[in-house]
Structure 1
Amino acid sequence: MGDRQDHTGFRPLADTASGVLDPVLRKRAGINLALVQSWEDVIGAALGAQSRPLKIVWPRRAHEDDPFQPATLVIACEGFAAIRIQHETGEIISRVNSFLGFAAIGRIKIEQKPVATAARPRRKGPPVVDAASEKRIEAATGAIEDDGLRAALARLGRSVIAERIKKR
């Protein structure tokens, strides 16, 4: 999570909570907090709002020398979302594996159950930064070939700069 601190030396509560919850989730459900928090971004807003990842089930290995086998991602969803997930299984596996950084998931298991839809705060529009900051962001990300990655890093840069401005 990093050593993000404000000027008083205290770490944000979210960092502390993530640091405590991530190992617990990983041990109990085989899933990391980053995937749970980024679920809508990983599989898309429409489907992400109707589902949530529950756990990752890793196959048992009899010996240490057994070859790696991908895990099963268990997803909770309601009604019609189950059909959409079933039809988009290959794409979802690909996106989750890209998010995790390796071919961790080989199949998906769907569990039809209510998905808690806590009142989510409305997303604000993208942060606005001054022209000089925008030029610095473009210069820093201009050499990145992947359009999606370049756009994501530019959004991150704008958010960081906007947060710094807000704290002044």
Structure 2
Amino acid sequence: MSRTETTVRRERPEENRWLDATVAGLAGGAVFGLYLQFVAGVLPPTGAAGDVGALATDWLVHLLHSLVFALVYAGLVNWSPLAGYADRVLTGTALGAGYGVGLWAVATGVAVAFWALANTVWILPIPTVSLGSLAGHVLFGVVLGGVFAAVRQM
């Protein structure tokens, strides 16, 4: 008589996906924010260094952006070819790293141009490649993807 083992995997309800993304986005945003503040030195605004109110506002805006981008991530990895990978920590971390690179590319190539136009800079700047910014976005994505997968498995 042969013995067959099966793995039982608990599926979390889909409505929890958004809550899981919220937790993961805030975790990723906190790590990215600490990187920006203490490693890159760019989170406090240049003109308001030492201003606690400005720093708190910057953190709030940063965490809100992190939350929005985490919800976008959850929507993207809900696509059936990615869903199984996003719910495992190792592959979820890799997906998150790729998402971080994508965010960085969009932020560098597109968002900066729109920001310049919104601020009446009519000559679009050539985006500068910042490896520090890339590292921060990848860090955000790694934490986002890893925490999202870990929370999904609880």
Range into which the TM-score falls when normalised by the shorter chain: under 0.3
TM-score calculated relative to the size of structure 1: 0.26
TM-score by length of structure 2 reads 0.28
Greater per-residue strand proportion:
1
Higher relative contact order (CA 8 A, sep 6+): 2
